[in-house]
Amino acid sequence: MDKAADAGPISKERYRDAMAAVAAAVNVVTTDGPAGRAGFTATAVCSVTDAPPTLLVCVKRDSSVGEAFHANGVLCVNTLAPEHETLSNLFGGRTPVEERFAAADWIIGPSGAPVLKGALASFDCKISSIVDVGTHAVLFCEVLGVGGGEGREGLIYVGRRYDTVTAFAMAAE
Ligand SMILES: NC(=O)C1=CN([C@@H]2O[C@H](COP(=O)(O)OP(=O)(O)OC[C@H]3O[C@@H](n4cnc5c(N)ncnc54)[C@H](O)[C@@H]3O)[C@@H](O)[C@H]2O)C=CC1
Ligand SMILES: Cc1cc2nc3c(=O)[nH]c(=O)nc-3n(C[C@H](O)[C@H](O)[C@H](O)COP(=O)(O)O)c2cc1C
């Protein structure tokens, strides 16, 4: 029988090459509060449970924005549409925080975190716990408010480039 996957220690490069094949939604994750406004682009976002509504976000601990999320204790996950590709690159690193936010319109969510106007979906959250794993902090977040979800095209990142998918409308309650 053929082996399903490589065994033994996996290099960072091998791991990233395999992960590059995994399509992911693109999000701009924002925060505001005593430590000030901050935000970064993240594909490492995942739904955990709907009771209580909880998602997780993985943030590199040595990034310029990581500390602000710890200190503010709140965040908003803004899931991007295809027209937000430039915004994704701005929030993807090496751009001063004020320049990142100046490129779009924002409103303040229930938690105080900036909500992107025109996001495909938005999840306003308080950070309920943080677990450090290797280079990243995993932020577990309780969702306080949701927005968007009316269904149109979504931005995805796969094969080290952006692409577009049809996003389905949220069921009406
Ligand atoms: N989870 C993360 O922290 C991610 C970080 N990035 C950042 O964007 C840069 C460019 O990414 P790509 O063009 O996709 O090429 P890449 O070869 O650096 O990454 C390929 C894939 O590996 C994963 N990955 C990359 N860096 C990672 C990290 N530090 N920790 C965990 N998973 C990681 C992601 O799924 C990414 O799409 C990366 O070098 C990284 O700085 C991108 C995607 C996810
Ligand atoms: C498409 C894309 C996805 C990314 N996903 C993540 C992620 O899930 N977690 C993370 O910590 N950084 C991720 N990054 C990198 C951060 O956005 C970047 O490190 C952050 O903006 C901080 O950069 P700075 O330290 O230069 O300010 C991603 C970047 C891009 C372009």
pLDDT score for 74: 98
Q: What distance in angstroms lies between residue 169's CA and the mean position of ligand 2's atoms?
A: 28
Measured from the CB, is residue 19 less than 6 Å from ligand 1?
yes
Total domains, the chain:
1
Distance 19 CA to ligand 1 centre (A): 8
Find the domain containing 92 and state its range: 23-166
Nearest CA to ligand 1 atom 25: 16
Is residue 7 included in any domain, yes or no? Answer: no
Q: Is the CB of 107 under 6 A from ligand 1?
A: no
Counting other chains too, the contacts that 17-22 makes at CB distance below 8 Å and 24 or more residues apart are: 20/158, 20/159, 20/160, 21/158, 21/159, 22/158
**Once rounded to an integer, what is the mean pLDDT over residues 151-160?**
93
Task: For residue 142, give Cα distances in angstroms to 4, 53, 111, 113.
Answer: 36, 6, 11, 13
| Token pair recorded at residue 160 | 């080290």
Task: Judge contact between 115 and 124, C-beta under 8 A.
Answer: yes
Mean pLDDT of 150-158: 90
pLDDT at 93: 86
Domain-embedded: residue 57 = yes
Residue 76 main-chain phi, psi, to 5 deg: -130, 125
10 in any annotated domain: no
C-beta 46 within 6 A of ligand 1: no
Is 101 within 8 Å of 37 (Cβ atoms)? yes
pLDDT in tens, 128-138: 999 999 999 99
Predicted confidence band at 171 (pLDDT cuts at 50, 70, 90)? low
The verdict on residue 2 lying in a domain is no
Residue of minimum CA distance from atom 32 in ligand 1:
16
| Domain presence at residue 63 | yes
In a domain, residue 84? The reply is yes
Residue 11 lies in a domain: no
Q: Which of 86, 105, 107, 82 is nearest to 95 (CA)?
A: 86
In a domain, 74, yes or no: yes
Question: Which CATH number do you get for residue 133?
Answer: 2.30.110.10
